[in-house]
Structure 1
Amino acid sequence: MTIRNEELAAQFDELADLLEAQDVEYKPIAYRRAADNIREYPENVATLATQEGTNAVERIDRVGKAIASKVVEYAETGEIDELAEKRAELPVDMAALTSVEGVGPKTVGRLYEALDVRTLDDLETAAKNEKIQTVSGFGPKTESNILDNIDFARQSQDRQLLSDAAPIGAAIVDYLTQTVAVQRCEVAGSLRRWRPTIGDVDTLVASTDPQAVVDAFTDWPDTGRVIEAGTGKASVRTNDVRVDLRVVDPSEFGAALQYFTGSKDHNVELRNRAIERDLKVNEYGVFDISETDDPDAGQRVGDRIGGATETDVYDALDLPPIPPELREGRGEIDAAAANELPDLVTLDAIRGDLHLHTDWSDGRNSIEEMVEAATNRGYEYVCITDHAKGPGMVGGVGLTDDQLETQLSELRAVGDDAEIDVFAGVEANIGPDGRLSVADAVLEQLDCVVASPHAALDGDGTDRLIAAAEHPAVDIVGHPTGRQLNQRSGLDIDVPALADAAAKAGTAVEINANPRRLDLHGSAVQAALEQGATITIDTDAHGPESYDYLRYGVHTARRGWAEPSDVLTTWPTADVRAFLDA
């Protein structure tokens, strides 16, 4: 089974957490930095390790000889001895426990020592029995917050990040399309709709030989375990992700793809539209039941009038095809019926990125390297927005006002020599009271100010974000809720109110394309656009490889009905500069 970079990186993240829980200094930071670079490395690191050895792995930034040897060890054996030893010393479900907001590795270590807390169930029991507040350093409020966040943590354990599921979906489709018996193969479900988190990877195949397809599917080299296998269905698990297969007749593939793509709300509305026209729509096709005595006598009862393609299905219901990202039951069928579907933004419409980090703060590469990588992607402009010091910045991350002014000189020098436009910016922190962490006199010297929340990320954040959006120097409100998918839900926000204030102030609202954020999310983007706000899609890249996050941001924008003109980063340089200067 192929060891993906995400799986490999997760081993070092866990090792870092276990060491931090035992109060080991320095090593956790080194392991986490290595994990980040392994996760985003453009090649398969395990393959590199097995084929070329330790020296090749050491070419990865911030992966030294000791960590490289552990990479090789895991690639060859599926285990890391040091990690196994630390797990034995601290036998806890670290990933599950730290998914509870407010519970970090050190908290896990202390609660294990004091209360023998090992699992989410143990944590919940301890909180309900008011045991946590008896541990030194913990009080009733902390205990209550932990209890309040356990349900969210449990739900997150059943969902995969889009960025983890998408490569698996692409891999299984690529594998199955090489099978002779497969005529067509597509992913379906929430993955095809590009939802930010995914339950299972749903795969649909058109074939007249279902058994051959199932046999090929269960023989997939990436299969870790076969869960079940029938004549037309099968399920396997790979890298802790369940992948489901369904094989259908080629003549019914379009109807099945539409049906299994969903969403449920979309399909209910589509079915109701069919009923109004004496039609029946299901996974087998669209059927005219106007002259049928008992339409419920079978799934294929009636005269079949469509189903080979999705276009057939929508056409039979007097609708144009509806892009998968829009199929959430948020008005898309009415819009399609009125021929008012949006002309959705596409990946190739993006001209630049206005939220990037370098090694001046917590990025991994120099200003020159980030600009060069953007140039090679064909971008027209970028904005360097390193972190400023302030609320939420820990571990020495963040620039002082003096350092920002020093960096400004370097940014201007790099910009003078660059082939693309380089805007000088900052990611300022929005405090709980809405104030920014950078002096106005410094902000006024910069081309672009991204203001983002990084601390106090619970409760209602509307007022503080509106205050930031209305600040004369702020150009973009970055990752507005501050959420981290599967880790914290972030701020509650009245999106229409924020968007209205931002639109009036001439401030853009960001879709942060980092797959751990995707913030704003789809329905929030739609609400923001309805208030006339400008959206910007930025990657928040901390290294050149993170520019690839862009696709997740674009699909999130599409889920929010965004057209190219709605998105600041599709605009030409002169128009972007005018927006920033306004």
Structure 2
Amino acid sequence: MATNAEIAGRFEEFADLLEADDVEYKPRAYRRAAENIRAHPVPIADPVASGNEAVLEEIDGVGDAIAAKIVEYVETGEIEELEELRAELPIDIADITRIEGVGPKTAGKLYRELGIETLDDLEAAAEAGEIQEVKGFGPKTEQNIRDNLEFARQIGQRYLLGEGRPLADDVLAFLEGLEAVERCEVAGSIRRWRETIGDVDVLAATDAGEDVVEAFVDWESVDGEIESGPEKASVRVGEIRVDLRVVVPEEFGSALQYFTGSKDHNVRLRNYAIDRGMKLNEYGAFDVSEIDDPDAGLRVGDRVAGDTEAGMYESLGLPWIPPELREDRGEIAAAENDALPDLLTRADIRGDLHTHTEWSDGNTSIEAMIEGAADMGYEYYGIADHAEGPGIVGGMGLSDTEIIEQIEAIREVAAAHEITVFAGIEANVDADGEIGLSEDVIDALDVVVASPHSGLDQDAQTATERLVHAIENPAVDVLGHPSGRLLNERSGLEFDATALGKAAAANDTALEINANPRRLDLWGSAVQAALEEGAPIAVNTDAHQPSTLEYMRWGVHTARRGWAEPDDVINTWGLEDLRAFLH
């Protein structure tokens, strides 16, 4: 059955193709609907397939016309109008628009002028010098396309964590419901909470492996079997491959450690074990100190651990290392020296400082967003709609006059609620690092988030200087989504995270982990580098509707990948400490 993400993807494609065809208004409506479908907390395909179309009435932006298309897709696997549009514009729109600077309108023009349908067509035209001959293009645009082709091809093979992890949770729920399964857990990159995944890996402990594999392949959510055998199976759920491996219960811990990875972590850990007369593999931890040929077999030596994952590390005298840290960035040495971080948890978060309302590009009212934050149990909450500036979608940024009006509106609504509400703004960091707000507006605001939205093709040195300049601005409290990347869509700015960390520490400016699963910006290694310089961090959702306040889940795990502890994150602080921090 189609997932919410799959249905949303059809409407995103619809919007892109309509925009490529120079249709106005409709693309925005379809994108809004797609965002709300993707974020909807309940799967919609099953009730729609059962005739309960009323579930669609709960989704903001889904009117009768879009609802009819959803029903059509769930029932037939196609949307006739979309198929007609694909025939009219046979463009691999998702692939081509992954090129930085190539949006749907550009893709449509290149198709009409040069017949470009695929990345291969685009590459051939760029190499032949044909693109720069099209009106409105030039040598710089053509070179940019050549420079970004490899990135576009690479990201097309991976899925967002925000798409894969909910599916993984569904798989776990199914397996936990099987009487023969004693334990189960996700493994691989999804357990390490990497921002993108190739597939979903799941491990189950059972003494009835073949029965579990058979039940898994017959699971009603499976759309196709790829392969299966007595110990493993691979299926397709929607567009995502799910791999199940079954093991006997006494080898569950060792298999979980092995299949979680990363490869670099496992190699270093195995070498650490060898130096101590031990051998680690998916079958257990073995003492081979008295064995002449430790490589004579996988189970050679005295097995000392393997039932539990913690036991695998304990067999080496190490504490259990959280999966998010297993990237070979010093975690084994830290474990050896009893210096692993006390990682941030979801329960530590007291508020969210970067969210949006319908005043700019959000989907709902100030009142609804404040109520949503209160329902999250937060002590405080910040609204930061877009200010005017280059790169703001649809030119929906607020003028200085509108910002002042919104501050007054926020204060009026907030007065009726117990939660503390910060009136903020998301200012645009322009190509020179300026934020474009007047002093009167700055003085009236509680919090300023400053983020790059344009000029994302700068070289690393220029980008670093630009972002440092913004950090040094006394008005800026938080540098939002510093790279401006959109996962699987655009690569964003490259910069020196250590330099940003130093500047942030020196200027009491927080660096944001934007928890939107399409961003996760900053990312783990950049967070770690910044924290090593003493930078404060903010984990914000960039939510555009109440349901996407739940994006905090992705942000917290990204912070954990960066070794963040609670005190490193400003929105774990008490209200008075946070007030003192905000400029």
Q: Same fold, TM exceeding 0.5?
A: yes
The equivalent residue for 1:362 is: 361
Shift of 1:43: 2.1
Q: Are 2:427 and 2:436, in contact at CA under 8 Å, matched by a contact in 1?
A: yes
Superposition deviation, residue 487 in structure 1: 1.1
Partner of 1:142: 141
What is the match of residue 554 of structure 1? 556
Contact 1:48 1:57 in 2 (8 A): no
Partner AA of 1:274 in structure 2: A
Over the matched positions of the two proteins, sequence identity in percent amounts to: 60
Give the alignment partner of residue 526 of structure 1, picking from 525, 528, 531.
528
C-alpha displacement of 1:436: 0.7
| 1:150-229 alignment runs, 5 A limit | 150-229=149-228
CA contact (8 A) 1:356 1:539 kept: yes
Alignment of 1:569-580 (within 5 A): 569-580=571-582
Task: Say which SS state the counterpart of residue 241 (structure 2) adopts.
Answer: strand
2:263 aligned with 1:282: no
Root mean square deviation of aligned Cα: 1.3
Check whether the contact 1:5–1:45 (CA below 8 A) recurs between aligned residues. Answer: yes
Deviation digits for residues 10-65 of structure 1 (CA, Å, limit 9, x no counterpart): 11111111111111121111111111111112222223433455555244212221
- 3-state DSSP class of the match of 2:406? helix
**1:79-98 mapped onto 2 (5 Å cutoff):** 79-98=78-97
Deviations 1:110-134 (A, max 9, x none): 2222222221112112211222222
CA contact (8 A) 1:21 1:107 kept: yes
Alignment check: 8 A CA contact 1:354 1:382 kept: yes
CA distance in 1 between partners of 2:175 and 2:512 (Å): 37
CA distance in 1, matches of 2:334, 2:273: 16
Q: 1:258 Cα shift? A: 0.2
Deviates more, 1:188-197 or 1:105-114: 105-114
Q: Tell me, what secondary structure is at the counterpart of 1:164? A: helix
Query: 3-state SS of the aligned residue for 2:108?
Result: helix
1:380 is displaced (CA, Å) by: 0.3
CA distance in 1, matches of 2:121, 2:367: 49
Residue 135 of structure 1: CA displacement? Answer: 2.2
Aligned to 2:263: 264
Query: Whole-Å Cα distance in 2 between the matches of residues 35 and 271 of structure 1?
Result: 45
Structure 1 distance, partners of 2:395, 2:270, is 56
Which runs of no fewer than 5 residues in structure 1 stay unpaired? none
Q: Under a length normalisation based on structure 2, what TM-score does the superposition of the two structures give?
A: 0.97
Residue 24 of structure 1 corresponds to which residue in structure 2? Answer: 23
Q: Render the CA deviation track for 1:248-279: whole Å, top value 9, x for unaligned.
A: 12111101100110111111111111111111
Q: Would you say the 8 A contact 2:485–2:492 is kept in 1? A: yes
User: Aligned match of 1:509 in 511, 526, 548?
Assistant: 511
Report the CA distance between 1:496 and its aligned residue: 1.1
Shift of 1:307: 0.6
Alignment-derived partner of residue 129 in structure 2: 130
In structure 2, the residue matched to 1:71 is: 70
In 1, the alpha carbon distance for the partners of 2:475 and 2:108 equals: 43
TM-score, normalisation: structure 1: 0.98
CA–CA distance in structure 2, aligned partners of residues 219 and 55 of structure 1: 29
Q: How many angstroms apart in 2 are the aligned matches of 1:102 and 1:53?
A: 41
- Whole-Å separation in 2 of the counterparts to 1:547 and 1:193: 22
Counterpart code for 1:525: V
The question of 1:482 aligning with 2:516 is answered no
Alignment match, 1:46: 45
**Aligned-pair CA distance for 1:209:** 2.0
Q: Output one character per residue of 1:361-390: Cα deviation in whole Å (capped at 9) or x when no partner.
A: 111111111111111111000011110001
SS of 2:354's equivalent in the other structure is strand
Q: Aligned AA for 1:105?
A: P
1:521-548 CA distances to partner (integer Å, 9 max, x unpaired)? 0011111111011101000111000111
1:464 corresponds in structure 2 to 466
Which amino acid in 2 is paired with 1:340? A
Letter in 2 for 1:557: A
For 1:565, the equivalent position in structure 2 comes to: 567
Partners in 1 of 2:96 and 2:253 — Cα distance?
43
54 and 312 in structure 1: CA distance in 2 versus 1, 3 angstrom threshold: closer
Q: Specify whether residues 95 and 305 from structure 1 end up closer, same or farther in structure 2 by C-alpha distance, changes over 3 A only.
A: same
CA distance in 1, matches of 2:437, 2:87: 46
User: What do the CA deviations read for 1:183-221 (whole angstroms, capped 9, x no partner)?
Assistant: 211110000000000011111111222211211121121
CA distance in 1, matches of 2:404, 2:358: 16
Q: What is the match of residue 345 of structure 1? A: 344
What secondary structure sits across from 1:386 in the alignment?
Answer: strand
Residue type of the alignment partner of 1:78: G
Matched, 1:391 2:393: no
Instruction: Tell me which amino acid in the other structure corresponds to 1:211.
Output: E
More deviation, 493-502/559-568: 493-502
Shift of 1:402: 0.6
Partner of 1:315: 314
**Secondary structure at the counterpart of residue 108 of structure 1:** helix
Q: Which amino acid aligns with 1:456?
A: G
CA–CA distance in 1 between the matches of 2:121 and 2:230?
42
Kept in 1: contact 2:44–2:55 (CA 8 A): no
Please, which runs of 5 or more residues in structure 2 have no aligned partner?
A: none
Deviations 1:486-538 (A, max 9, x none): 11111111111111111111111111000001011001111111101110100
Cα distance in 1 between the residues matched to 2:285 and 2:49: 52
Does residue 380 (structure 1) correspond to residue 382 (structure 2)? The answer is no
Asked whether the equivalents of residues 54 and 69 of structure 1 are also in contact (C-alpha less than 8 Å), the reply is no
* Aligned-partner Cα distance in 2 for 1:435–1:64: 40
Q: 1:227–1:236: 8 Å Cα contact kept in structure 2? A: yes
Mapped to 2, the partners of 1:331 and 1:380 lie a distance apart of: 35
SS in 2 for 1:293: coil
My pick for the range that moved more, 135-144 or 535-544, is 135-144
Give the aligned partner of residue 117 of structure 1: 116
For 1:373 and 1:444, locate their aligned partners in 2 and report how far apart those are by CA, in whole Å: 27
Shift of 1:441: 2.3
Residue 445 of structure 2: aligned partner = 446
Cα distance in structure 1, aligned partners of 2:17 and 2:407: 39
Using the TM superposition, give the Cα deviation of residue 437 of structure 1 relative to its aligned residue in structure 2, in angstroms: 2.2
Cα pair 1:253 1:308 within 8 Å, conserved? yes
Point out the more displaced range, 423-432 or 114-123.
114-123
Distance 1:84 1:411, change over 3 A: same
Asked if the contact 2:6/2:239 (under 8 Å) is kept, the reply is no
Number of the residue aligned with 1:544: 546
Decide which moves more: 338-347 or 60-69. 60-69
Q: Are the aligned partners of 1:50 and 1:76 in contact in 2 as well (CA < 8 Å)?
A: yes
The DSSP-based 3-state class of the residue aligned with 1:527 is helix
SS in 2 for 1:100: coil
* Cα separation, 2, equivalents of 1:335 and 1:118: 50
Q: Distance in 2 between matches of 1:247 and 1:50?
A: 32
Q: 1:60-114: per-residue Cα shift (whole Å, max 9, x none)?
A: 2122211111111112211111011111111121111112222211222222222
| 1:406 and 2:405 correspond | yes
- Structure 1 counterpart of 2:539, one-letter code: I
* 8 A Cα contact 1:391 1:437, kept in partner: no
The one-letter amino acid of 2:404's match is E
Q: How does 1:98-113 map to 2 (within 5 A)?
A: 98-113=97-112
Of the structure 1 ranges 198-207 and 157-166, higher mean CA displacement relative to structure 2 is found in 198-207
Distance, in Å, in 2 between the alignment partners of 1:468 and 1:441 is 19
Q: Which residue number in structure 1 is paired with residue 421 of structure 2?
A: 422
Q: Which residue of 2 aligns with 1:493?
A: 495
| Counterpart Cα distance in 2 of 1:225 and 1:516 | 27
